[in-house]
Amino acid sequence: MTDVLDLQDVTIRRGTTTILDGLSWRVREGERWVVLGRNGAGKTTVLQVASGRMHPTSGTADLLGSRLGRVDVFELRPRIGLASAALADRIPGGELVRDVVLTAAYGVTGRWREAYEQVDESRAADLMAAFGVAGFADRYFGTLSEGERKRVQIARALMSDPELLLLDEPAAGLDLGGREELVAALAELAGDRKSPALVLVTHHVEEIPPGFTHLLLLAGGKVHAAGPVAEVLTGENLTAAFGTPLQVERVGDRWTARAAD
């Protein structure tokens, strides 16, 4: 298996603050990673590096076999899908849902004069169907509920057929039904061998979809633990990484965590 992502000793500093501190992490083809850590642990920053949007202050970041700093990031970015609240804010509310998904093939938002190929139209339709938003194709993005918008964003992030898909807290703000629908859609994506390598940032172990294989646990900009989910997701590791006594339990193919007794 080849490396999709290889971060070696990555440090990111802003002024006197060290945001990532000598972080090393490898993601291989076919792997499905969850990234967990308390507020400020560095999760979003890791995704910024992994998507080619932030360069390490020191250390190396190889994305899809190309070293950040030596490659044209504008060629790299379409090969890496990213869905995050910050990107969602840039999607105009007055854009039709079908165009929100379709325009990702061209790396833009806002349909203007692009000539869309039939193949793109049908890929967008397939992705909207897979994420249960086909019925909203002719609605304005701004009229969708939070959960519907999240699913449209994931369809958009997959539109360019990326080799790596990064999802930053896709379940944030969803109600229980919306969360469960999203977890099911992500489990299906994880189980499909044609899917890209996946990285999912979340705050809640309950949101880990079945089929996710690995866990990166961050604390203070460092890797606290990384490896297969069942090995890393322990009460001991969570307690140390979150700085509060926690216990974790596996329930079927899902997880749950709470304060330790």
Chain residues binding ligand ATP by CB under 6 A are: 14, 17, 19, 37, 39-45
Q: What is the DSSP letter of 196?
A: P
User: At 65, which amino acid appears?
Assistant: G
Contact 132, 114 (CB under 8 A): no
* Closer residue to ligand ATP, CB minimum distance, 17 or 118: 17
CA distance linking residue 195 with residue 176, whole number of Å: 26
CB atoms within 10 A of CB 241: 22
Strand order in the sheet with 66-67: 17-28, 3-14, 58-63, 66-67
* Closer residue to ligand ATP, CB minimum distance, 186 or 219: 219
Q: How far is the CB of 235 from ligand ATP (least distance, A)?
A: 20
Q: How far is the CB of 100 from ligand ATP (least distance, A)?
A: 24
Q: How far is the CB of 14 from ligand ATP (least distance, A)?
A: 3
Please give the torsion angle defined by the CA atoms of residues 68, 89, 163 and 114, in that order, rounded to the nearest 10 degrees: -100
Q: How far is the CB of 47 from ligand ATP (least distance, A)?
A: 8
* Closer residue to ligand ATP, CB minimum distance, 45 or 103: 45
* Closer residue to ligand ATP, CB minimum distance, 87 or 130: 87
Q: Which helix (H) or strand (E) holds 82?
A: strand 80-83
CA nearest neighbour of 236 among 227, 223, 245, 226: 245
* Closer residue to ligand ATP, CB minimum distance, 22 or 78: 22
* Closer residue to ligand ATP, CB minimum distance, 84 or 103: 84
Q: How far is the CB of 94 from ligand ATP (least distance, A)?
A: 28
Sort 205 into a burial class: Cβ within 10 Å, 0-12 / 13-18 / 19+. buried
Helices (H), the chain: 43-50, 73-76, 85-88, 97-102, 118-130, 146-158, 176-191, 229-232, 235-242
Q: How far is the CB of 208 from ligand ATP (least distance, A)?
A: 16
